A and B are shown apart, each in its own frame.
Chain A
Amino acid sequence: MPADSVRIAPVPEEQLVRVGFVRSAFRRVEIGALIGAVAVWLLFAAVAPGNWLSVTGVARILDPASTLGIMAIAVALLMIGGEFDLSTGVMTGTTGLVAGLLSTRMGWNLWPAMFVALLFALGIGYVNGMMVTRTGLPSFIVTLATFFVLRGANVGVTRLVTEQVYVGGIDKTAGFDLARAIFNTGIDVFGVEFRSSIIWWVVIAVLASWVLLRTKYGSWIFAAGGDANAARNLGVPATQVKVALFMTTATAGWLVGMMNIVRLRSAVASQGIGQEFVYIIAATIGGCLLTGGYGSVIGASVGAIIFGMAQVGIVFAGWDTDWFYSFLGVMLLAAVLVNNYTRRRAQEISLAAAKARTEG
């Protein structure tokens, strides 16, 4: 090599600073959600300590958090994969109606009816995924269309068949008792009833987190959302990953739909409408970036807990429940600001270190 070539000096050991505790804490995806959860918990512990600090209080909080958490986990995976799904809320209604109508009107056993509802959900998820990946349209628009189509069909078909906007009497169908025992029953713990949907939620959270962080498919989800083209150049089947994620949110919608109908013993045509944004909020509070490639399943679950605490805490505190959504909006903004700040801080620290390493 000629004399004018560039020599690289080895970096002396003392320049290698250990990764600080603060920096690693800042790098936690879930940091905003955790801070938020602690803040909300402290708030209601101060305002309504009596109910809040009881086993009943915990059971009440975890009840709405569980079904929301299941949805938020699936939505978080999809958002990490770089896409949106606005048809998740209405899907919980649609699947309930499909299973309800088949079992009560056609006289089917509830289990095959639920199975057909699952196939229906998977089909919708597949269509959503294919439309987004084939056309290149934003998933926001595609799934908004799906949302409205299903919303109309839910009411239209239900009224056509039952002349009402709900399907009742699901508890009289064959197979109902087993379905209720499996999907949503009360479990007595210390004399307080906990919903079995909480167990589903915990199992799904552990499973989804394992897939996301400990399998190659998790890396593919991050890559598909981070930069789908770069991922494809390296042989990652980004399109298939995205389609599979749309089918996952649809499946989660089906599961929550089944939990709702066995609990309520009926299916309501308006079920789930408006909930799609709550799922996205929980996932976003949990650290998901709207631009994809970043987020956490555990964070989304913590987001669901915050939602449950707010819903129950406002009642315990004796506040006007009309303000619930305003409270949620403030929580969303605060969590996103914290997430944004911590991510930027972590990056600034790393960038400064990179500069020190290579610029001397």
Chain B
Amino acid sequence: MAQKQPLLEVRHVSKMFGSVIALSDVSAQFYAGEVTCLLGDNGAGKSTLIKILSGVYQPTEGDYIFEGKKVVLNSPREALAMGIATVYQDLSLIPLMSVWRNFFLGEEPEKRFGPIKGYDIKFAKETVRSVLGQMGILIRDPDQPVGTMSGGERQSIAISRAIYFGAKVLILDEPTAALGVKQAGLVLHHIVQAKRRGLAVIFITHNPNHAWPVGDHFIILRRGRVLGDYRRDELTQADLMNLMAGGEDLVKLQQELAALLEAPLGVAGESPNVQEVISAS
């Protein structure tokens, strides 16, 4: 990918918490108009990496490069101001508040009434309806509390909001986790919409079935390191599944389990190797 400059890049980034190494020498490039899937099991370092990308953590070592320039982010607000928006799993919407209030929270449109300024509610409601309509979410009633909407709809609203407010980089933290097939489909639909609008989408997931249909670029993390960094044409869905599931460890686990099935009763369950493999993967 030498012909294109990445929009966002981290070079040789490490993060330590005391003596614990959460992330070690991770380099990754994220391009505009592409979906980069960040995959990995629990504890692989996915959340540490996105917290660095979104400005929550500062890396212990390494560089953060945005639009070709080295930057240091001290807070999520600074990242947001630069156009790096993060949609957290649950932390982006207020359930008891209406759709339009949520959509414009922190960025309220205002209208002047003589010397005083009021909330431009008419504009907010109409904009929410049309912006979400363009994203394929039909809002009958903008006054509806967000808490009464489905999980997929909520994620979609949060994504639409980031796009509307001019995000260049959209970081999505497990947006499809805990969603049913249709709901997850709705979210994937919006990920593609964001990509088509030229955003660099960073899609964090541990589900290769959700990553494969939308991803242009796959980064697999494992125990704080980059295990693999592939373009879409460099691997197959089966490869991705295998990488995600733990590759060699999975094969080993299968053999161990097969052996366990054949072992005589009484000594079964005492195979320490199975325990080891499970805890390692």
Contact = CB atoms under 8 A, between A and B. Distances in A.
A354 B189 CA distance: 18
Contacts of A2: 212-213
B274 interface: no
Contacts of A1: 192, 213-214
Interface of A: 1-2, 4-8, 10-11, 16-19, 27, 210, 214-216, 218-220, 222-223, 226-227, 229-231, 233-236, 289, 293-294, 346-347, 350-351, 354-355, 357-360
A350 B98 CA distance: 12
A350 B188 contact: no
Contact of B77 (A4, A10, A216, A235): A235
Contact of B80 (A6, A214, A235): A235
B148 A354 contact: yes
Main secondary structure of the interface of B (DSSP, over half): mixed
A226 B97 contact: yes
A216 B147 contact: no
Given A16-B140, A235-B77, A236-B106, A6 B97 contact: no
Interface stretch (B8-16, B23-31, B179-187, B241-249): B179-187
Given A215-B117, A236-B106, A227 B94 contact: yes
B72 interface: no
A355 B186 CA distance: 13
A295 to B, nearest CB: 10
A6 B210 CA distance: 10
Interface in B97-131: 97, 101, 104-108, 110, 117-119, 121
A18 B149 CA distance: 16
Pick the most buried of B94, B140, B145, B184: most chain A CB atoms within 10 A of its CB.
B94
State the 9 A-B residue pairs at the shortest beta-carbon distance, nearest first. Answer: A6-B185, A350-B148, A216-B108, A226-B94, A234-B106, A235-B106, A5-B213, A354-B150, A293-B96
Contact of A350 (B94, B110, B117, B145): B145
A218 B110 CA distance: 13
A19 B145 CA distance: 13
B91 A230 contact: yes
Given A233-B76, A359-B183, 4 more contacts: A27-B143, A219-B105, A223-B97, A350-B148
Nearest to A15: B138
A234 to B, nearest CB: 4
B150 A231 contact: no
Contacts, number: 120
Contacts of A226: 94-97
A6 B188 contact: yes
Contact of B136 (A10, A220, A233): A10
B181 A236 contact: no
Contacts of B180: 359
Contacts of B184: 6
B119 A219 contact: yes
Contacts of B189: 6, 8
A236 B105 contact: yes
A5 B189 CA distance: 9
A351 B95 CA distance: 13
A31 to B, nearest CB: 15
Contact of B94 (A27, A218, A231): A231
Contacts of A289: 96
A355 to B, nearest CB: 7
Nearest to B212: A2
Contacts of A229: 91
Nearest to A229: B91
Contacts of B136: 8, 10
Nearest to B141: A19
Contact of A357 (B121, B150, B185): B150
A214 B150 contact: no
A346 B15 CA distance: 47
Contacts of B150: 354-355, 357-359
